[in-house]
Chains A and B, each alone.
Chain A
Amino acid sequence: MRQTGNMMNYNSMQPKPLNDQLIASDLLSSVKASIKTTATALTETATPEVRRTLEQQLQQGLNFHQQLINFMMQKGWYKPYDVQAMIQGDLQQTQQVHQQLGESMQYHQQYNQQYGQPQYGQPQYNQQQYRQ
């Protein structure tokens, strides 16, 4: 039973479904997207300075990708040479995430029952602001 309803308590007690493996996967996704976007931009550029900068950033991204992949392989989080094992790991991870999200959902529902639903109301943005 929670004693107080302040946000600090709420945040400190809520389940944390993001584990190291998921964070590493997210970092890998970011790096991959970054590499692809940089490469696409490179094929469109005409300005030498832009090209030079993007070439350098592409190389940095590729180097980082290699280091991260090696690390994830060491950890057993990424198994490119054993697809069966990798898919098995994916299925396990999916189950684990869903279970944790269920717990998380339960926590938030309990919290809302105890302290009331957050009131969102009407969107506050000023429509004029978005008109040119």
Chain B
Amino acid sequence: MHNRRLAPHEMLDLHELIGMKNVCAAKSAAMMNMVTDPQLRQFLQQEMQTATQQAHQIQSLLSGGTTPGGGRY
């Protein structure tokens, strides 16, 4: 999936970020089953959803598609 519009170093930064977001989302999902405090569970759920959404946005940037909720760039 070669993207001519992004500079190589931008792709590397996005690569690092998307990895972090994926780990965050998966880890938050796993930890939701371990917590007892309902408020903390909400934080984990929020983090899971936000990280997933952000990973999708970065995915769009990397694949040169359209950003969710935005136009084609």
Contact = CB atoms under 8 A, between A and B. Distances in A.
B1 to A, nearest CB: 16
A24 B34 contact: no
Contacts of B61: 49-50, 53
Contacts of B73: 48-49
Contacts of B44: 23, 27
A67 B13 contact: no
A40 B20 contact: no
Given A33-B20, A38-B17, A47-B5, 11 more contacts: A18-B31, A20-B35, A20-B36, A23-B31, A34-B21, A37-B20, A48-B73, A53-B58, A57-B54, A71-B40, A75-B37
Interface of B: 5-7, 9-10, 13-14, 16-17, 20-21, 23-24, 27-28, 31, 34-37, 39-40, 43-44, 46-47, 50, 54, 57-58, 61, 67, 73
Given A34-B20, A45-B10, A60-B50, A67 B57 contact: no
Given A46-B10, A64-B46, A23 B5 contact: no
8 contacts: A16-B34, A18-B31, A23-B35, A30-B27, A37-B17, A53-B58, A57-B54, A64-B47
Chain A interface category by residue count: 20 to 34
A45 B23 CA distance: 23
A67 B67 contact: no
Classify the interface of chain B: helix, strand, loop or mixed. helix
A30 B43 contact: no
Interface of A: 16, 18, 20, 23-24, 26-27, 30-31, 33-34, 37-38, 40-41, 44-50, 53-54, 57, 60, 64, 67-68, 71, 75
Classify the interface of chain A: helix, strand, loop or mixed. helix
Contact of B43 (A34, A49, A50, A71): A71
Nearest to B34: A18
Most buried by B among A16, A45, A49: A49
